[in-house]
Amino acid sequence: MLHKIVKLTVMDVRFPTSSEQHGSDAMHTDPDYSAAYVVIETECGLKGFGLTFTLGKGTEIVVCAVEALAKLVVGMSWQEIVSDFRGFYRLLTSESQLRWLGPEKGVIHLASAAVLNAVWDLWARAEGKPLWKLLVDMDPKQVVSCIDFRYITDALTEEEALDILLKAREGRQQREDQMLREGYPAYTTSCAWLGYSDELLTQLCTDALQKGWTKFKVKVGADLEDDRRRCRLLREIIGQSNTLMIDANQRWDVAEAIRWVSSLAEFNPLWIEEPTCPDDILGHAAISKALAPLGIGVASGEQIDSCRLGSINENLAVLLMAHKFQVPVCPHAGGVGLCELVQHLSLFDYICVSGSLTNRMCEYVDHLHEHFASPVVIRNGHYMPPKDLGYSCEMLASSVQAHRYPEGDVWKANTSK
Q: Which candidate, 358, 325, 302, 56, places its Cα nearest to that of 185? A: 358
The Cα–Cα gap between 403 and 410 comes to 6
CB 233 within 8 A of CB 207: no
Task: Quote the crossing angle between the two packed helices 254-263 and 281-291, to the nearest 10°.
Answer: 30
Indicate the pairing of strand 382-383 with strand 184-188: antiparallel
Q: Does residue 40 sit in helix, strand or coil?
A: strand
Element (H or E) spanning 271, and its range?
strand 271-273
List the catalytic residue out of 3, 22, 332, 382: 332
CB 75 within 8 A of CB 4: yes
List the catalytic residue out of 3, 109, 129, 219: 219
DSSP code per residue over 120-176: HHHHHHHHTSBHHHHHHHS-HHHHHHT---TTTTTT--HHHHHHHHHHTTTTHHHHH
CB 11 within 8 A of CB 353: no
The Cα–Cα gap between 332 and 127 comes to 27
Q: Does residue 71 sit in helix, strand or coil?
A: helix
- To the query of whether residue 28 is one of the catalytic residues in this protein, the response is no
DSSP 324: H
The Cα–Cα gap between 336 and 250 comes to 21
Indicate the pairing of strand 47-54 with strand 5-14: unpaired
| Residues in CB range of 41: below 8 A, 6 or more apart | 5, 6, 7, 8, 9, 47
CB 344 within 8 A of CB 392: yes
Per DSSP (E only), the strands in 72-138 are none
The Cα–Cα gap between 201 and 230 comes to 9
Burial class of residue 370, CB neighbours in 10 A (0-12, 13-18, 19+)? exposed
149 residue type, one letter: F
- To the query of whether residue 219 is one of the catalytic residues in this protein, the response is yes
- The residues that are catalytic are 219, 332
